[in-house]
Chain A
Amino acid sequence: MSKTHVTATINGEAAEFLCETQQTMLDVLRDVVGLTGSKEGCASGDCGACSILVDGTLVCSCLMLGVEAEGTSITTIEGIAQGDHLHPIQQKFLEHAALQCGFCTPGLIVATKALLDENPNPTETEARYWLAGNLCRCTGYDKVIRAVMDAAAVMRGETV
């Protein structure tokens, strides 16, 4: 079976890869590109641990084919920080202890980025419904939601 050549932008850098037609974007990221920050929790779009941004839209990378990445700009958890400077969402997840095992954390952070890009001032309820596609089994979501609301305030310039 011949592989398909795909050209895309991944975390701001031009990227090329070869993938099988049936290969998911998650498998491409993890097994071909070597970015293992996106996690496989279910491979059925139910847990959100593999969340990425495709041209700014939040996507479960397990539900997308690698070939569909052609010509797109992909952001994964590895592209959220600016060099050694953490994104405010990452910083607030740390400060609020919004992670325990950390396995769902990459997906939650990417999903939060998508939320705050679209809605910089969400209510708690809006944040909870937006993140309802990201399962976390450790935290009960309390500290996650606090981190999200605090990060939103920082990004609006209201607090540090």
Chain B
Amino acid sequence: MNYLSGDLKVVGTRPIRPDGVEKVTGRALYSADTRVGGMLWGKILRSPHAHARIVSIDTSKAEALKGVQAVVTSKDFPEITSEVAFVGEGPMNFRDLSDNVMARNKALYEGHAIAAVAATTAEIADAALALIDVQYEVLPHVIDVDEAMQPGAPVLHADMFTAGVNPKPATASNIAKVVTFKKGDIDAGFAEAEVIVEGSYTTKPVHQGYIEPHACLATYNPDGQISIHASSQGHFMVRAYTAKLLGLDMADIRVNPAEIGGGFGGKTLIYLEPVAVALSRKSGKSVKMQMTREEVFRGSGPTSGASVTVKLGAKKDGTIVAAQQVLKFQAGAYAGSPIGPGCMCGFAMYDIPHIDVLGYDVVSNRPKVAAYRAPGAPISSFAVECAVDDLAAKLGMDPLTLREKNHAVNGTKTHYGPTHTNIGFTEVLQATRAHPHWKAPIAEGHGRGLAVGFWFNIGGESSATVHINEDGTVMVATGSPDIGGSRASMGMMAAEVLGVPVSKVKAIVADTASIGFTFLTGGSRVTFATGMAVTQATEKVVEQLKARAAQTWDIPVEAVEWKDGQAFPAGTNAGAFPPLDLAAIALKQGRTGGPINAEVSVNAQGAGAGFGAHICDVKVDKETGHVEIIRYTAIQDVGKAIHPSYVEGQIQGGAAQGIGWALSEEYIYNDKGQMENPGFLDYRCPVASDLPMIEAVLVEVPNPRHPFGARGVGEVPIIPPMAAISNAIKSAIGIRMEHLPMSPPKIRAAIDAAG
């Protein structure tokens, strides 16, 4: 059933979220907020070297320290054979994940976990770390992606032979994989072209920058049953990975989802939980672990830095006929960058007959990358959208007109396979053209940039339960951690289907033992997929409510209608009964057949791709190189906004992260391969005074595969900002910035170089 054309009373309104008061009063419990009596504090010893063989680890002095109750190294974790991980987001191998959680033979990056201790206080645990004697044989290291691909570069993994090339290479290298997508005939395309532009771009790795550091509390009981209290983007993922890394049964692990203090993709894998369980098993006590901010930077995944080239060919009338892209993504210490989506997303906004994309997944001595909002797409699109802007300039064409002329529509076949269906990109470009920001004159000395972005969105496995309480109020439970207000939207969809006020519905996130399997919160899937499960479960409940009314009235269930939270006889033939409301039916549920509830599990398909366009005005201070964002507008097809405030919030937050990626965020390494800015003072995320208001414009082209028409909205907004800002800077000072971040020193250097 769908509600695309119906008169909606709850969906589309802006109620206060059910978890709101707990969060504004400080009562909400995040990962690090739970304590149990007698618990120990766990801490991790990390490698100071970017690349080193671990010759020996002597933990005897640490173990002898008063208050230390357990020390673990990789010897406490079973060796795991190579196996592609299930459940997580993005490619990951269980053997690599195990090695990342606790280094086995080599430290592959500065910050790599080497050993861990559990002690009665955090101070004793810290003192114990200093007593662990690790002998390293320091090896040559490589940080930069282009350098890591050179012959003769230090090789991280002796068994890494590039996948995706034929024949298989004879020697090991840092190139884990090669990805190619081809459409049409690229040579014929460029032969046809009358105007060609080329560009070469680099992006730095940036951290997701969630304000809550990773933390957990684990208890291993003598019967082997384990409880883990942790925030993550998927507690089922935490359970599966912990079980795998320790060789345990999933049924013995119960993961309670704590409130999560931001993730943006960075909490789709694990770092601490298996270590805490191992320490708890060894000590017999509960163990609490919490990363410092420095550990978050050095030891958890940022997204890839990359090196990208783009070549575009067009007719003089602006028809793009050929597009070529080469992407080199650094994966960190283990294979598995988001090179796949990077290769997919760059050209998916356009209808181009001849496309050739070549991608490399490259390891180097940095922390293993983790997902970050639309993984891969922002990097790829930064390059493409700068090149499209340069093409517009070369053609003497307005950049929006060039995009209108070439944009993907329903029926456009992408270079990576699927054909676009039910997309709203045309409507997004129309809204851009019509927006006052686009029409406003550009102020003297300012520049304006435009860029567009695409994310395919995902569905997947979700479970939801709906219970009718004895008084007619309603409980909704799902397996999706709520990272940005999803309990509000889940409750709203259930309230809409039931026809009751949203205040009568309470939504929660259930633990791994209390609800069916649910894939993690990522890829902008929850409102779509979990929302579908909630809607279907609520519909099942409505069927039961109708059946109870039919039973009460002694008429066929087909003769009962459900409307506005009440059962009515369907027409005069059904009988003249006064309506029965939810509370009345709920009160008698015990006597009419028992509790009324339903659980639905889905594997949702048809997520519905998202498109966005961002307009940005900047002012460049030529003396200091500082770029000020003067005005920012983000236009996006959201399908249907269930709770528009949180949809706007996703767009505003994603755009702000993109602005940071564009202007100020980067990992800075010294010549020893050590990160020099592992704190928020030197790793510069945007603060309130860096930004203007960010206007989010919601375009609603319903996704027919979702009951209310929703599309995922969280990924798209981080894709356009980097190019929009580079394009705005070019508009302001006539210089193309091809390298991120476009920080003051880089702008100053570019101005000097331009004379």
Contact = CB atoms under 8 A, between A and B. Distances in A.
Given A43-B293, A94-B16, A37 B25 contact: yes
Nearest to B643: A97
B262 A101 contact: yes
Most buried by A among B652, B654, B655, B690: B652
Interface string B632-662: 0000000000010110111011111100000
Interface stretch (B136-144, B182-190, B206-214, B351-359): B206-214
A138 B16 contact: no
Contact of A137 (B264, B646, B693): B264
B689 A129 contact: yes
A29 to B, nearest CB: 10
A106 B21 CA distance: 11
A137 B485 contact: no
Nearest to B121: A20
A138 B27 contact: no
Nearest to B659: A140
A60 to B, nearest CB: 12
Given A37-B27, A95-B16, A101 B261 contact: yes
A135 B23 CA distance: 16
A99 interface: yes
Q: Which of A31, A86, A135 has the most CB of B within 10 A?
A: A135
B484 A101 contact: yes
A78 B25 contact: yes
Interface in A36-83: 36-44, 46-47, 49, 76-78, 80-81
A94 B688 contact: no
Of A40, A94, A142, which is in contact with the most chain B CB atoms at under 10 Å from its CB? A142
A74 B93 CA distance: 49
B209 A137 contact: yes
A146 B645 CA distance: 12
B259 interface: yes
Contact of A101 (B26, B210, B290): B210
B221 interface: no
Interface residues of A, number: 58
A141 B20 CA distance: 17
B32 A40 contact: yes
B25 A39 contact: no
A35 interface: yes
Contact of A97 (B17, B19, B25, B261): B17
Contacts of B20: 94, 99
Interface stretch (B109-117, B309-317, B678-686): B678-686
Contacts of A127: 688
Contacts of B261: 39, 41, 101-104
B42 to A, nearest CB: 15
A101 B653 CA distance: 11
B232 to A, nearest CB: 13
Given A35-B26, A78-B26, A94-B20, A101 B689 contact: no
A139 B714 CA distance: 12
Nearest to A1: B123
B26 A138 contact: no
Nearest to B657: A137
A103 B26 contact: no
B485 A135 contact: no
A39 B30 contact: yes
B520 to A, nearest CB: 15
Contacts of A144: 688
B1 interface: no
B74 interface: no
B656 A141 contact: yes
A140 B680 contact: no
B693 A44 contact: no
Contact of B17 (A94, A109, A142): A94
B694 interface: yes
Contacts of B23: 99, 102, 105
A105 B30 CA distance: 12
B485 A100 contact: yes
Interface in B293-332: 293
A39 B688 contact: no
Contact of A42 (B27, B649, B679, B693): B679
Given A137-B653, A144-B688, A46 B25 contact: no
Nearest to B34: A36
Contacts of A140: 649, 652-657, 686, 691, 694
Interface in B595-609: none
Interface of B: 14, 16-17, 19-21, 23-30, 32-33, 35, 123, 208-213, 259-264, 290, 292-293, 483-485, 643, 645-646, 648-650, 652-657, 679-681, 685-691, 693-694, 696
Given A40-B290, A97-B649, A137-B685, 4 more contacts: A35-B26, A99-B24, A103-B210, A140-B653
Pairs of residues from A and B, 9 with the lowest C-beta to C-beta distance, nearest first: A37-B26, A103-B261, A140-B656, A102-B23, A77-B26, A97-B645, A46-B680, A140-B652, A100-B484
13 contacts: A41-B680, A97-B648, A100-B483, A100-B485, A101-B210, A103-B212, A132-B690, A137-B208, A137-B262, A137-B653, A138-B262, A139-B649, A143-B652
